[in-house]
Amino acid sequence: MSKVEPREAFPDEPEPSERAAARHGRTAGDGAPPAGAPPAPEVAPEAVAAAVVTGDSRGTVTVTGTLAKAPPGGPADIPPGGPGSGPGGRRWSPVRRREALVGLAFVGPMLALFLVFRFGPTLGAAFLSLTDYRLSGEWDFIGAANYTRLLQDDLFWESLGVTAVYTALYVPMTVLLALGTAVLLHRTLWLRGFFRGLFFLPYVTSIVLAAVIWKWIYEVEDGLLNTALGALGLGPVDFLGADSLVLPSIAAASAWKGFGYSMLILLAGLQSIPREVAEAATIDGASAWQRFRWVTLPLLRPVLFFVLVIEAIQAFQVFDAMYVMTAGGPVRASYSLVYFLYDSGFKFFDFGYASAIGLVLFLIVLVFSLIQRRLIGREED
Amino acid sequence: MARLRLPVLLVLVAFVTVTPFVVMVLVAFAPPGGRTLPGAFDVTRATLRNFTDVLESADITQWALNSLIYSLVSVLLILLFASMAGYAFAKKRFPGREVLFWAFLATLMVPFQATLIPYYILVSEMGGVDTYWGLIVPTLANSQAVFLMRQFIVQLPDELFEAAKIDGASEWRVFTTVVLPLIRPVLATLGVFVFLWHWNDFLWPLVIGQSEGMRTLTVGLATLEGENVTINQIMAGATITVIPCLLVFGLLQRYLTDSIATSGLKS
């Protein structure tokens, strides 16, 4: 495709790449901005923030919602498909061809990593789920058998239920805590930076650490909570050992660890609400609660929604906390979907089956992201 | 009146937030012997015994070393490869650029756990189980890093690179002497976050580091449970695990929180 077309090559071209592009019928704004023009702020900044911060090193799904609107916002870069934007529709001067080679060379290392360790495993997951891949490396193609087996597997439904209940507990806890602290910080100036840092502190530690500490806090014998309850004359509570308490207890520990992130996002959202709106409401005689309920909350809705979906996606992938605190117990009362996946793969070496569970997880998370995109997209219209 | 109540509430929430950390440190320094409670903690009896015990009985130094290798090597390589890719995506035109960029981003939609099994099979087929490269290399394909780099570099004026090129600098020289210095702030931010992600990572190190000597600190801490160790030693181990996070956090608190909070959200 990158064949040189001598006709179009201008030997005396001063700045070949952009000028040539302009000559080929591309609009001026398509290339580099003219000197002196401010660089187009073409990315939604929150997408950047979300991209940096959320999830683990391998990237959770959380960014998708905001990502969607980043590139279309910017005319300055990556042109949308259209006349002259694809390689096929463009003529390549030697200079352009060199540029293309340099570009590919610079993307090269990361591209190789992505091909082997991202695209490969993603396709591999779909494929493996249709096989009965064994520890020995042998496999047979078994079609949808893993999926029909999943549908009949009580463990699958149990773990799905546990994960759903956990999510239903974790998300409101985290978001309410985040919203509460964000509102508090927004309304007090006193040592704001200090408190903001303090509330964010648990977020920079690992969930394993949170689980180890909270496991001890919850302990029946000499745990912190039961000691405090004992001092109040209340009987010991088996937080992690009782069926009905184990998920709320784990969710609370995870909320402690995770609320800092949502708090920062919500705080930024609160700060972007113009002061005049609240002041006008005050003049109209609205109470603090009325102002919050009828002015702040509606304006905060998109941000709140973003945070809700992010935390829900996070919650659906829960594993570490349960692995450390309860090992899935008591009697699978905290046996999450990823725990089920982990056991199927690394305890029973049922790799094909585990891959099918992974695909179900992917679909669930995809649904969350799609809902988010749809609703956030609607807010913008 | 509300002005008075809000700080009180803040202090209360702050108290609840830090209590687990405080308790962790108190128990870590308390004399060994089962029933240690923060209320009964006596500063005069504070001891380093739990730290020395846990360092002797467990492979904590090895685990910490593994965590450091995992985190630091990943930071360096991700910063290098992601800034190279970000530069190309932002400033170079090449066939398939848009498709590739979106393909990179699309991988954010796939939760890591969903591809854990093929990941593991792939790396174990390549002989990467229980090796440093098996731990590190698969985690380098980081779309968030590429995305962030591209978004930052795209805002830099083209004239800077072109001037260097006219002066006869090679592409690599332009990259190392013009691009890298210019993107220092984003390199720092991303470096810190990559460090924390990897330092705190659990599932992948758990799966790929199967012998005790290849565990990272978080995996080691999780397995320390249940073995024949006291709660004091576990908390000492936890304290050791959290120190780098607290250091990074203490030094860069404003920086870290701002990079989330200045997200601006929607105006």
Q: What is the pLDDT of residues B146-158, one digit of tens each?
A: 988 998 898 888 8
The verdict on a CB contact (< 8 Å) between A209 and B207 is no
* Residue with the larger pLDDT of the pair A9 and A241: A241
Residue A273 has pLDDT above 50, yes or no: yes
B249 within a domain of the structure (yes/no):
yes
Which is nearest to B183 in space by CA: B145, B136, B233, B149? B149
CB A227 within 8 A of CB A217: no
A349 touches chain B (CB under 8 A): no
Contact B199 A206 (CB under 8 A): yes
Please check the confidence at residue B78 and state whether its pLDDT lies above 80. yes
Residues of chain A contacting B171 with CB distance shorter than 8 Å: 102, 105-106
Among A33-47, A67-81, A112-126, the range of highest mean pLDDT: A112-126
Residue position matching structure tokens 């650029």: B97
Q: What is the mean pLDDT of residues A352-369?
A: 93
pLDDT over 70 percentage in chain A: 74
**What pLDDT is recorded for position A380?**
55
- Asked, for residue B176, whether it belongs to a domain, the answer is yes
Comparison of pLDDT for A192 and B75, the residue scoring more? B75
How far apart (Å, rounded) are the C-alpha atoms in residues A262 and A276? 25
B contact residues 213-252, partner A, Cβ 8 Å cutoff: 218-219, 221-222, 225, 231, 234-235, 238, 241-242, 245-246, 248-249
Residue A55 tokens, joined: 């999830």
3-state secondary structure of B9: helix
H-state helical runs in chain B: 2-29, 49-57, 60-91, 97-106, 116-125, 132-136, 143-153, 158-166, 171-174, 180-182, 184-200, 203-208, 217-224, 231-261
Q: What is the pLDDT of residue A115?
A: 93
Domain interval for residue B173: 64-226+241-265
Instruction: Please tell me whether residue A141 adopts helix, strand or coil conformation.
Output: strand
CB-based contact A95:A15 (threshold 8 Å):
no
On the question of pLDDT at A58 being above 80, the answer is no
Whether the upstream peptide bond of residue B157 has omega within 30° of 0, thus cis, is: no
Q: Which residues, in sequence order, are bridge partners of residue A4?
A: A92
pLDDT top residue among A231 and A214: A214
Q: Is the dihedral of CA B198, B201, B203, B209 positive or negative?
A: positive
SS3 of residue A152 by DSSP: helix
Dihedral class, residue A332 (left if φ above 0, else alpha if ψ from -120 to 50, else beta): left
What integer pLDDT is reported at residue A77 of this predicted model? Answer: 44
Comparing alpha-carbon positions, the chain A residue that sits nearest to B149 is A48
- Rounded mean pLDDT, A351-358: 94
Evaluate whether residue B52 is within a structural domain. Answer: no
Q: Does B156 lie at the interface with A, CB-CB under 8 angstroms?
A: yes
Whether B27 has its CB under 8 Å from any CB of chain A: the answer is yes
Assigned domain for B86 exists = yes
Residue with tokens 């906390």: A321
* CATH code of the domain in which B186 resides: 1.10.3720.10
What are the backbone dihedrals phi and psi of residue A141, each rounded to the nearest 5 degrees, phi first?
A: -75, 125
Cα(A369)–Cα(A237) distance, rounded to whole angstroms? Answer: 38
Report the percent of chain B where pLDDT is more than 90. Answer: 36
pTM, full prediction:
0.81
Is B81 within the bounds of a domain?
yes
Q: Specify the higher pLDDT residue, A223 or A258.
A: A258
Instruction: Say what the pLDDT of residue B226 is.
Output: 62
In this structure, is residue B18 part of a structural domain? no
Q: What is the mean pLDDT of residues A367-377?
A: 82
Domain membership of residue B78 (yes or no) is: yes
Q: Is the CB of B4 inside 8 Å of chain A's CB atoms?
A: no
Judge whether B85 and B149 are in contact, CB under 8 Å. Answer: yes
pLDDT at A37 over 60: no
Per-residue pLDDT tens digits for B27-54: 888 887 655 565 556 667 777 888 888 8
Distance of CA B117 to the CA centre of its chain: 23
In angstroms, the CA A279 to CA A275 distance is: 6
Residues B77-95 have a mean pLDDT of 93
A64, A116, A264: residue with CB nearest B261: A264
DSSP B178: I
Nearest to A46 among B81, B88, B265 (CB): B265
The overall longest dimension of chain A from CA atoms, in Å, is 92
B258 vs A227 pLDDT, higher one:
A227
Q: Does A168 contact chain B (CB < 8 Å)?
A: no
B146 CB neighbours in chain A (<8 A) are 110
**How many CA atoms does the CB half-sphere of A326 hold within 13 Å?**
29
What Rg do the C-alpha atoms of chain A give, in angstroms? 27
- Which pair of structure tokens corresponds to residue B16? 């609840």
Measured between beta carbons, which residues in chain A are less than 8 angstroms from residue B222? 208, 211-212, 320, 323-324
**B54 domain residue, yes or no:** no
Residue/partner pairs of A27-31 with CB below 8 Å, 24 or more apart: A29/A75, A29/A76, A30/A75, A30/A79
**Contact: A362, B92; criterion CB under 8 Å:** no
A170 falls in which pLDDT band (50, 70, 90)?
Answer: very high
Question: What total of structural domains would you count in chain B?
Answer: 1
- Interatomic CA distance for residues B11 and B14, integer angstroms: 5
More confident residue, A129 or A379: A129
Cis omega (within 30 of 0) for bond into A330: yes
Q: Which long-range contacts (CB under 8 A, 24 or more apart) does A109-114 make?
A: A109/B80, A109/B81, A109/B84, A109/B85, A110/B81, A110/B82, A110/B84, A110/B85, A110/B104, A110/B140, A110/B141, A110/B146, A111/B85, A111/B100, A113/B81, A113/B137, A113/B140, A113/B141, A114/B103, A114/B104, A114/B107, A114/B141, A114/B143
pLDDT tens for residues A85-128? 444 455 668 888 888 898 899 999 999 999 999 999 999 999 99
Element (DSSP H or E) covering residue A112: helix A94-114
Q: Phi/psi of residue B185, each to 5°?
A: -60, -40
Q: What is the ipTM of this complex?
A: 0.89
